[in-house]
Amino acid sequence: MLLIALFIAVILSNVQESLAETEQGHGAVNVHVLYRGTVPPPTEVKVTRDPETCGTTIYRQSITVRSPSGELKDAMVMVEDIHASGKEQTRTQSMVLSNSKCSFSPHVMPLQTGSTLEIQNLDQVMHNTHITHELRTFINVAMVVNGRPVAKRVANPGLYRVQCDVHKFMEGYVLASEHPYFGVTDERGSAKITDVPAGEHDISVWHERLGQLQAHITVPPNGEATATFEFHEDGTGHSRRMNR
């Protein structure tokens, strides 16, 4: 009798679990990132190698904002507290990183672990793409003129720094996420992450110059959560959030 009761209890709890799963559903996260403050003037770099392709002077601007709204481009956004369950749709794919006009395009690139990073050289000069992850070399490869793309699978999550050993002013970033819930802000400072499991989550925004901000949000099933992040000139920042 006790066994039967236990058996029924187990069945009931399984039913409840699967109900909870289907009821939970998915929603979207809308992120808006702003910068409040004076945009620092670009850093002027004199070019000594390959000026015919790279130009003689590079003006490096690491904070790209729309004026006067202050909407910040190239901030990478990620849901922090989800670990890949294997049930979600993956976004693993081949991601192309170009050496183009002596810069990396795209400048910042979020991707899912398991994706292949395909590095190509579109310039008529040699580059040497050198990517590090947690201070260790991920890849260090000479990119000859008209050479074949070089591909390598990104297995480990985290931030990758992209540099060129020939042109020290070239830099970029790759952020590898274990799960598919990430994005990067466009010219309007916006990023949208879809199909996020409903519930409470921590999301973070990372910018190469301004650092990181976090917010706690609640994603409603079949709805949208909105978070606005503000980076301040003095190095502080805050976030506001809203559920719909």
Query: Which chain residues interact with Cu ion by CB under 5 A?
Result: 127, 164, 166-167, 170
Distance of closest approach, residue 74 Cβ to Cu ion, in angstroms:
20
Instruction: Show the CA angle centred on residue 204, arms to residues 200 and 208, nearest 5°.
Output: 175
SS3 90: coil
Minimum gap (Å) between residue 102 Cβ and Cu ion? 6
Angular region, 213: left φ>0, alpha ψ -120 to 50, beta rest: beta
Minimal distance, residue 48 CB to Cu ion, in Å:
12
- Cβ proximity to Cu ion: between 73 and 127 the closer is 127
Minimum distance of Cu ion from residue 165's CB (angstroms): 8
Burial class of residue 6 (count of CB atoms within 10 Å of its CB; 0-12, 13-18, 19+): exposed
Contact 41, 62 (CB under 8 A): no
| Buried/exposed 152-184: b ≥16 CB within 10 Å, e otherwise | eebeebeebbbbbebbebbbbbbbbbbbbbbbb
Other CB atoms within 10 A of residue 9 CB: 10
Least separation, in Å, of the C-beta of 103 and Cu ion? 9
Nearer to Cu ion, 167 or 207 (CB): 167
Residue 143 vs 215, nearer CB to Cu ion? 143
> Which residue, 169 or 220, is less far from Cu ion as judged by CB?
169
> Least Å distance between CB 139 and Cu ion?
14
Contact 151, 115 (CB under 8 A): no
Nearer to Cu ion by Cβ, of 88 and 118: the residue is: 118
Which CB, 127 or 133, lies closer to Cu ion? 127
Q: How far is CA 212 from CA 30, 62, 66, 114, 187, in A?
A: 17, 15, 20, 24, 19
